[in-house]
Amino acid sequence: MFRGSFVALVTPHKKDGEIDEKKFRKLIEFQLKNSTDGIVPCGCTGEAATLSYNEQMRLMDITVETVNGRIPVVAGAGSNCTEETIKLTRHARKAGCDGALLITPYYNKPTPEGQYRHYEKIAKTVDIPIMLYNVPSRTGISMKPETVARLSKIKNIVAIKEASGSLDQVSQILSLCDIAVLSGDDSLTLPIMSLGGQGVVSVAANIIPKEVHELVRQFLNRDIEGARNRHFKLMPLFKALFIETNPIPVKACMGIMKMYKPTWRLPLCEPMPETITKLKKVLKSQGLI
């Protein structure tokens, strides 16, 4: 199941800050029509840190209802509080999600043993496939490969979204266990897959779902040259989407491409004018505007 291009879906908001559920459903349908292999709502790209628990659970419900079994739904359900993570993960299972994406506990920076016990308790409390999420640039702490390998022995911990930016980290994880590794950085999807990764949880797929799907498909089908050429073509866009904090640039791109009129929840806000200029230049070069 954890194989292919999974979109880390943005959360659209109305001018008053409320979630735009109608637009959210349309964005899901856009993904379904353009070959995305899986949907990940309520992740970092979905501004989960600004969502209330009720909003997060509502988005899980909407995603499962809209997808209707056509592709896997892996809902962001992580927190730095173990009991809160259990609450959200339980709802993901109740809603019918195919898996839960659980970020490493941020701010309190647990030791490797604390990380292990956090995930162990969740996995043993809620019977749902779990994708670990290692993103030290967001959380202030990185999971050691040895901790990942230890957790992989728990039957329902089956994948990791690896966004440390380190190919050494990926190499060590895959040398220690057979957990499914998905890239958490679009620009590293091809390198990570060359080490044995199974795909990506993608920011770029919000605007180019078919292209990201094809990149992954080509590599998995051993069309290495085709995947490499596509990687080089898309690389400027991959990098541009992180000029400012994600998801500021990708939402701005969606506005430039007239997919919808984006808004952000504080403390995130619209990008700087010079960022818009750079994004327009890259989108034009990619033939997207």
The domain locations on the chain are: 4-221
Instruction: Report DSSP state, residue 244.
Output: S
Instruction: With residue 76 as reference, give the H or E element that holds it.
Output: strand 74-76
Q: Report the pLDDT value the prediction gives residue 1, as an integer from 0 to 100.
A: 83
Decide yes or no: CATH 3.40.50.300 for domain 4-221: no
Q: Which of these is catalytic: 161, 258, 260, 281?
A: 161
Would residue 161 show up in a list of annotated catalytic residues for this protein?
yes
The answer to whether the predicted template modeling score (pTM) of the entire model surpasses 0.85 is: yes
Instruction: Report DSSP state, residue 67.
Output: H
Sign of CA dihedral 196, 202, 208, 213: positive
Report yes or no: 258 and 289 within 8 Å, Cβ to Cβ: no
Please list the pLDDT of the chain residue by residue as tens digits (289 residues): 899 999 999 999 998 889 999 999 999 999 999 999 999 999 999 999 999 999 999 999 999 999 999 999 999 999 999 999 999 999 999 999 999 999 999 999 999 999 999 999 999 999 999 999 999 999 999 999 999 999 999 999 999 999 999 999 999 999 999 999 999 999 999 999 999 999 999 999 999 999 999 999 999 999 999 999 999 999 999 999 999 999 999 999 999 999 999 999 999 999 999 999 999 999 999 999 9
Q: Report the pLDDT value the prediction gives residue 29, as an integer from 0 to 100.
A: 98
Q: Nearest-CA neighbor of 215 among 114, 130, 204?
A: 204
Q: Which amino acid is at 77?
A: A
Q: Which residues contact 287 (CB under 8 A, 6 or more apart)?
A: none
Q: Which of these is catalytic: 87, 133, 155, 260?
A: 133
Integer Cα distance of 14 and 34 in angstroms: 25
Distances (CA, A) of 189 to 58, 151, 218, 228: 30, 23, 12, 10
Would residue 133 show up in a list of annotated catalytic residues for this protein?
yes
